Amino acid sequence: GDKVKQSPSALSLQEGTNSALRCNFSIAATTVQWFLQNPRGSLMNLFYLVPGTKENGRLKSAFDSKESYSTLHIRDAQLEDSGTYFCAAEAGNSGGSNYKLTFGKGTLLTVTP
Amino acid sequence: NSKVIQTPRYLVKGQGQKAKMRCIPEKGHPVVFWYQQNKNNEFKFLINFQNQEVLQQIDMTEKRFSAECPSNSPCSLEIQSSEAGDSALYLCASSRGHQDTQYFGPGTRLLVL
């Protein structure tokens, strides 16, 4: 099965509304990154998280390593928030993860007027 | 956001041809990664380096792919004999090290005809 399960796979929001994206991990995630990919393919960093919470403007993200999940909350959605959101986890283990990220399959967010 | 440079942005090759792409990591980032993103948004880790040394690579990379990160030169990823299934977005990322943010370049979109 998927090591990083992202939900929902697609989401449509009206401008000004709020929503949350989620990632569940079946690997021992030690850190999580959230990205927004634009249609050209560029991955923009949103958050880097160790267990805990971060906030940046209208975005807020949390990572709970014990319960193996992470969330990304979008408040007051704007048209420019549209794109594909990915979470990715670095897993720690006794042999070392060699730093690689394991990605979810993304949430395609469409914000409409 | 990211200062990772990737060239070319687009690459079109025939089956059996070599395909080479380059990456300049952010200054001061000794760790470099290559990932492949297919049209189903599945990311596959290919290889990573710390300075010039390979940290980890997957089987596929060992067989048809070659990569290097020479000092004072761009890193490169080369597919020796392209196959249709290699058509994908190839993303390079760099990082200061273990458990630190990975910053991605804009990617090289490879199409194998």
- Cα distance from A66 to chain B (closest Cα, Å)? 18
CATH number of the domain within which A49 lies:
2.60.40.10
- Cα distance from B70 to chain A (closest Cα, Å)? 19
Q: Which regions in chain A score pLDDT beneath 50?
A: 94-95
Cα separation, A6 vs A107, whole angstroms: 7
Q: Could you report the per-residue pLDDT of B36-89, keeping only the tens digit for each?
A: 999 999 999 999 999 889 988 887 766 899 999 998 899 999 999 999 999 999
Q: Do A106 and B1 make contact, defined as CB atoms within 8 angstroms? A: no
Cα separation, B45 vs B77, whole angstroms: 13
Residues of B with CB under 8 A from a CB of A: 1-2, 31, 33, 35, 37, 40-43, 45, 48, 55-56, 89, 91, 93, 95, 97-104, 106-107, 109
Q: Where is pLDDT greater, at B99 or A11?
A: A11
Could you tell me which residues are beta bridge partners of residue A101? A90
Let me know the angle formed at the C-alpha of B103 by A93 and A94, rounded to the nearest 5 degrees. Answer: 5
Domain B5-112 has CATH 3.90.1150.10: no
Of the residues A7, A47, A100, the best mutation for testing chain B's interface (the one with the most B CB atoms within 10 Å of its CB) is A100
Chain A and chain B share a number of CB contacts under 8 A equal to 68
Domain spans in chain B, listed from the N-terminal domain onward: 5-112
Total structural domains within chain A? 1
What residue numbers bound the domain in which A31 lies? Answer: 4-112
Cα separation, B13 vs A83, whole angstroms: 29
Task: Check residue A94 and give its pLDDT.
Answer: 46
Minimal CA–CA distance to A100: which of B65, B107, B98? B98
Phi-psi region of B41 (alpha: psi -120 to 50; beta: other; left: phi over 0): left
What is the pLDDT of chain A when averaged over all its residues?
Answer: 93
Residue holding tokens 């004072």? B72
Tell me the residues of chain A between 4 and 63 that have a Cβ less than 8 Å away from chain B: 30-31, 33, 35, 40-45, 48, 50
The alpha helices in chain B, defined as continuous H runs, are 59-63
Token reading at A106: 């993304």
Q: Could you report the per-residue pLDDT of A33-55, keeping only the tens digit for each?
A: 999 999 889 999 999 999 999 99
